[in-house]
Structure 1
Amino acid sequence: MKVLLVEDSSSLRRSLTIGLQNLGFTVDDTSDGSEGLSMALTGDYDVIVLDIMLPSIDGLTLLKTLRSSRKDTRVLLLSAKSEPEDRVKGLLSGADDYLSKPFSFEELHARLLSLLRRGSLRKDIDKVELAGLTLDMQLKTLRFGSKLIDLTPNEYKIVECLFTNQNTIVTSEKLSEHIAGQYDAISKNSIEAHLSSARKKTKVAGSELPIQTKRGFGYVVNQ
């Protein structure tokens, strides 16, 4: 597995690189945000471990640029900030997980394995077509005919999770994990808000999301 490590602390970067290499990971590393962005956009990585406080370009700006470029590589954010609002801000910027400093190497390793498991799901599927809508899992786009429906990263993740689990009730907890990762949570109200926004955008394009709410259970897409 190939990891990109973007961390400005030379001691931490060196220790993480050595630790991951000893576990069999291939690691590319840099201390600079601008260089990290270039590497992330052009390289083929399974996971990016990304510090927030970086020279040249900060981690959140790097992450937003990555997501706006439709790059869907799993990203684990590292930060000295541990307040709930900081974690939420990072996750809503497009991160898959968030780890506060200081942390143990064992926990970092466990979270990377969790992200890699999630990242390996349904790689055999490129597109899902349903009710005239086309979900492209390579480009991370949703279209109705030739019309592109401009979803945010979290709106897309909700639609992706539901479209790839057709005829199965998907709970709010599963959607939360798909958006925010195993160790954090997105509230049911936030999920409803993201889904409502995605519905409105789809309606403007001339279609409707075939997603039904099963009150008390979750959501379902029926073929």
Structure 2
Amino acid sequence: MRLLLVEDDKETARYVSRGLIQAGHTIDVVSDGKDGLALAIRENYDIVILDRMLPGLDGLSLARTLRTAGSHVSILFLTSLGGVNDRVQGLDVGGDDYLVKPFAFAELLARVNALGRRAPMRSEGDILRAGDLELDVGSRVVKRGQERIDLQPKEFVLLETLMRNKGRVVTRTMLLERVWGFHFDPRTSVVETHISRLRAKIDRPFAKPLIHTVRGSGYSINDSP
């Protein structure tokens, strides 16, 4: 699933994002409520994980604005405000679930997965395309032409990240953050290794390559060189 985490505590954001990425999800992280609202409206997320006490715009106002704008995205509050009235407020403004800090990651993951099962199927954004390459996010099926391509979990998330940014350069740092949860450069060749494996499945058996190296910048996926 594609998730948005709006959390201003850096340690919590790093802990949550890394765990969810390792569980196979794609996640964007912002620390400011206004930035979170802009992303949630502009992008197509399955779930928004939302702190209540945020700079720029508090979590209650963010959730209320999303619902007023007609958004049906699932909202999970993750906050230290755990009183009965706090929970009621969160659910009243449109929250779908409410988890209080400190929390066990296993419970957070279970709640995220439960919300994912309850979420309505998205009418758009579920199927990503680049040329004759097609990625179905919901069923996790990848095809090029009529040929189905089997990918490992990290390969799938890597390809999804590239395809959601079709035609744009995705830097190595961005891939490390979004696919592996590294918020620094650990001097690893994991990106290059997985890109090579992905090319072996996506490009080499076919006449036209789709994954392009942008020297000194990163990678892009497009149906034109």
Q: Which residue of 2 is the match for residue 53 of structure 1?
A: 53
Q: Which residue of 1 is the match for residue 13 of structure 2?
A: 13
Q: TM-score when scaled to structure 2? A: 0.53
Q: Which residue of 2 is the match for residue 2 of structure 1?
A: 2
Instruction: Kindly indicate whether residue 73 of structure 2 is the aligned counterpart of residue 70 of structure 1.
Output: no
Relative contact order higher in (CA < 8 Å, ≥ 6 apart): 2
CA distance in 2 between counterparts of 1:4 and 1:81 reads 20
Task: Provide the secondary structure at the position in 2 that maps to 1:60.
Answer: helix
TM-superposed CA distance for 1:120, in Å, is 3.8
The answer for unaligned runs of 5 or more in structure 1 is 125-223
CA distance in 1 between counterparts of 2:108 and 2:29 reads 16
Alpha-carbon deviations, 1:34-90, whole Å to 9, x = none?
Answer: 100000000100000000000000000001000000001000001111111110111
Alignment of 1:20-59 (within 5 A): 20-59=20-59
Q: Which residue of 2 is the match for residue 114 of structure 1?
A: 114
CA distance in 1 between counterparts of 2:39 and 2:61 reads 15
Q: Which residue of 2 is the match for residue 100 of structure 1?
A: 100
Aligned residue pairs, count:
123
CA distance in 2 between counterparts of 1:82 and 1:70 reads 27
CA distance in 1 between counterparts of 2:97 and 2:59 reads 13
CA distance in 1 between counterparts of 2:19 and 2:120 reads 23
CA distance in 2 between counterparts of 1:82 and 1:108 reads 15
Alpha-carbon deviations, 1:127-161, whole Å to 9, x = none?
Answer: xxxxxxxxxxxxxxxxxxxxxxxxxxxxxxxxxxx
- AA at the equivalent of 1:24: G
Deviation beyond 6 Å, 4+ runs, structure 1: none
CA distance in 1 between counterparts of 2:98 and 2:28 reads 20
Task: Provide the secondary structure at the position in 2 that maps to 1:82.
Answer: coil
- Percent identical residues: 45
Q: Which residue of 2 is the match for residue 87 of structure 1?
A: 87
Q: Which residue of 1 is the match for residue 164 of structure 2?
A: none
The answer for unaligned runs of 5 or more in structure 2 is 124-225
CA distance in 2 between counterparts of 1:77 and 1:62 reads 11
CA distance in 1 between counterparts of 2:23 and 2:90 reads 27
- AA at the equivalent of 2:117: R
Alignment of 1:193-212 (within 5 A): none
Q: Which residue of 2 is the match for residue 135 of structure 1?
A: none
CA distance in 1 between counterparts of 2:24 and 2:8 reads 23
Q: TM-score when scaled to structure 1? A: 0.54
Task: Provide the secondary structure at the position in 2 that maps to 1:95.
Answer: coil
CA distance in 2 between counterparts of 1:66 and 1:120 reads 17
TM-superposed CA distance for 1:10, in Å, is 0.3
CA distance in 1 between counterparts of 2:83 and 2:63 reads 19
TM-superposed CA distance for 1:116, in Å, is 0.7
